[in-house]
Amino acid sequence: MENSDDGLRLVLRIDFPPGNRLGHGKIRLMELIAETGSISAAGRAMDMSYRRAWLLVDALNNMFDLPVVESQRGGKQGGGAALTEFGTSLLHTYRTMQKKLDQAVKSEVDWLEKNRRQ
């Protein structure tokens, strides 16, 4: 739900057996990789170490038949990372699902917001 930071927020998380998850954290990391072209910069923007960001990218790449993020080792031009075509589709699909979920339960979330203790 598109509420203020103080309002209720519905978060989509998809659990993949045997214990993998796809949720707002990995999705945000993917968005930042697309924006910055760097796993390191994306991790910094989320206040996490490069190692943590890299582990999340590795988990994403191992959750699907196709890679989500492709990285290039440093060198003369420096390293970099980008979403694959599949990664871009995954990001779009997740955001579409989130919007549909928000719309489907908007009245219930509004009711909860109205009745919660402030």
Q: How far apart are CA 9 and CA 22, in angstroms?
A: 17
Q: How confident is the model at residue 74 (pLDDT cuts 50, 70, 90)?
A: low
Q: How far apart are CA 73 and CA 44, in angstroms?
A: 18
Q: How far apart are CA 29 and CA 17, in angstroms?
A: 21
Q: What is the pLDDT of residue 6?
A: 76
Q: What is the pLDDT of residue 79?
A: 72
Q: Answer yes or no: is pLDDT of 68 > 60.
A: yes
In the chain, what percentage of residues exceed pLDDT 70? 92
Structure tokens at 111: 């009711």
Q: Answer yes or no: is pLDDT of 78 > 80.
A: no
Q: How confident is the model at residue 62 (pLDDT cuts 50, 70, 90)?
A: very high
**Topology adopted by domain 14-106:** Arc Repressor Mutant, subunit A (1.10.10)
